[in-house]
Structure 1
């Protein structure tokens, strides 16, 4: 709810039992000087059934804000990629701030990614996808190697829809974690967020193909260029802050593959019309014609 073009009240329905990650992250981002988000003002809590719950989050209103499923699709249609450097910088600054929070938990294991692939295959029932399963498993196998990169608090659901373009620039929002994974660890390699962000650029390209009639080849080229610009800016920012160790690039591809599996699971369970996006991405990666999905 937008109140007087001054504040935004996000009601959690249903209310979520505490502890919840967002209030602590908001406080830490303020202390760390990270300002590329909607200004956090307050968290409203209350006791329900004898336990304290988070009822609402109150943040500042960002004038002329549009989320990435609007503004980024416009960039894909126009074929422009200059925005990607700013997103890379923003993601790096976010991770630099979050990396100073206390960490807990263990590095993600490959078996979880393999389970996501198996579930995606079962729910999708697609012969072409089944034919790619061996290749996908080989790409996921990187996760069987012990992960040595630092585990940090991550955003957990970092896609372009969580990045607002507003009057004064860009802002990342929604620190509630991934709503489709009940047991997602709060501390993971930064590459997990990076992979979600890069795959979301691929999804934008699929949206541009299906909804805006952008030729598939041009959309794929745009996504590839935007991805490389984003990653380059992200790595340069980490290096400038003496923290290149935060990113293990070998983890990006397996996390991207796992993310597409989770997108297929989400589509099958909650939003069937979304299936075209992850299937279009996978067909682009593995050599099939993405128009088979976008014309479905």
Structure 2
């Protein structure tokens, strides 16, 4: 058996156990090593960059994943989860857990190394640290990130697609605008997938001592519903976050330009997604006509919709609160969508709607998590928190953009509904106990009262 075949044999049992594997629950039909690039060779360690094609029994086609495969004696701290198997007396494991490997990666970006089809590309004028031992962050789902000290973070895109990843593209555009609302780009790892250029990773400033928006918001929700002491109002933070998002939108427009979209085409997309959702979420049936009416109000308006590059998957979990203000992170767009769709210009209202939906989730997640005896009072307090936060976010966005997103009430409501329908499908499939959150929002959004709050 060749070394490539031996490696391929280790993968079917290992890949599905990784948090970043995007096909949980699907039966793996085949694994194929489609590319191997040697990176590092020493007496007790060899490291390769490996692209793996994974086929499934339920559908044709494959998904491509990238690995940094180390073979040798793993250092302390390499967990069983990171071990693929053995090769004779050597251990085969995920090299990102080995500081010798991460040290090499950092130097490769700093020095602009080329290895086979791989290109390690420093950003012009960026400062890449000279040294330091990298550590893997453990909280991510779809990617793996390595942090060096308090300065630098490398995100490795585990599932890779042909084409320029929007996360890298938009960070480059925002860096050119001098944006302080995103972590500055330091460099990238680029390669080839299916014969086309592809983004494999990106190196950025690390926002040390920052707080993610989701848990920060939840702290105030818990206080508002009486389950914890502390500040009960998130309005000030929501307003600052709204202003930051508006600034990012303005910078993306300045960097990449904008155009307009046919409202009928937008509405047709919403209607198609609703068609697909109805059989999966029976509770949507009673709201079908009201939802379609909201979509039709936009589709038949005849008013072109301004579109540009946007975040595409914005929620509280895609934000960081630092001592200097809010940062927006992870510009990959909706992970399940094709790369071309994620790179398509869209309305900034999609990002606004995504954040408004996130405030609803933060508010009512706490109520669903542990319904107390006074659940009615808790629900009322959560609803009031959501109203304040949503309104404050729009106020802040208005300051940053010079225009109030609530002035486009019909379109904003439609974008929110489209997102809530998507959420209803996702929750019904994956977390049925959370489905009441988007379903309650749909009932609110199809009611006669206008406005996002």
Please indicate the TM-score interval, normalised by the length of the shorter structure: 0.7 to 0.9
Q: TM-score scaled by structure 1?
A: 0.85
Asked if residue 29 in structure 1 is aligned to residue 174 in structure 2, the reply is yes
Indicate the residue corresponding to 2:252 in structure 1.
Answer: 98
Match of 1:12 in 2: 157
CA distance in 2, matches of 1:247, 1:28: 28
Deviation at 1:272, TM superposition (A): 4.8
- Indicate yes or no: 2:408 matched with 1:248: yes
Q: Greater shift after overlay, 72-81 or 191-200? A: 72-81
Q: Kindly indicate whether the alpha-carbon contact (under 8 Å) linking 1:149 and 1:246 is maintained by their aligned counterparts in 2.
A: no
- Is residue 66–residue 166 contact of structure 1 (8 Å, CA) maintained in 2? yes
Retained in 2: the 8 A contact 1:149–1:248? no
Contact 1:46/1:54 (<8 A) preserved: yes
**Residue of structure 1 in register with 2:400 after alignment:** 237
Distance 1:247 1:33 in 2: 29
Give the whole-Å Cα distance in 2 for the aligned partners of 1:274 and 1:39: 35
Work out the CA distance in 1 between the residues paired with 2:239 and 2:344: 26
1:280, 1:271 → 2: CA distance?
15
Change over 3 Å in CA distance of 1:25–1:203 after alignment to 2: same
- Which residue of 139, 145, 153 maps to 2:294? 139
Give the whole-Å Cα distance in 2 for the aligned partners of 1:49 and 1:148: 37
Question: For residue 257 of structure 1, what is the aligned residue in structure 2?
Answer: 417
Indicate the residue corresponding to 1:281 in structure 2.
Answer: 441
| Contact 2:308/2:346 (<8 A) preserved | yes
Does 2:232 match 1:76? Answer: no
C-alpha contact (below 8 Å) 1:190/1:247 kept by paired residues: no
Kindly report which structure 2 residues correspond to 1:46-85, keeping only aligned pairs within 5 A, or say none: 46-78=191-223, 79-80=232-233, 81-85=235-239
Distance in 2, Cα, partners of 1:68 & 1:203: 12
Query: 1:154 corresponds to which residue?
Result: 310
Q: CA, structure 1 residues 147+159, in 2 after alignment: closer, same or farther (shift >3 Å)?
A: farther
| Residue matched to 2:47 | none
Matched, 1:172 2:328: yes
Deviates more, 1:37-46 or 1:161-170: 161-170
8 Å Cα contact 1:119-1:265 kept in structure 2: no
CA positional deviation for 1:245: 9.4
Gaps of 5+ in 2: 1-144, 224-231, 448-453
2:357 equivalent in structure 1:
199
Q: Is the 8 A contact 1:149 1:247 kept in 2?
A: no
TM-score normalised to structure 2 length: 0.57
Structure with more of its chain in strand, by fraction: 2
As a proportion of its length, which structure holds more helix? 1
Q: CA offset at residue 196 of structure 1?
A: 1.0
Contact 2:246 2:400 in 1 (8 A): yes
1:156–1:193 CA contact under 8 A, matched in 2? yes
Q: Whose radius of gyration is greater, 1 or 2? A: 2
Structure 1 portions without partners, runs of 5+: 288-296
Structure number with greater CO (CA < 8 Å, separation at least 6) is: 1
Query: Does the residue aligned with 2:207 lie in a helix, a strand or coil?
Result: coil
Contact 1:189/1:247, CA 8 A, preserved across alignment: no
**How many pairs were matched up?**
282
SS at match of 2:211: coil
1:290 matched to which residue of 2? Answer: none
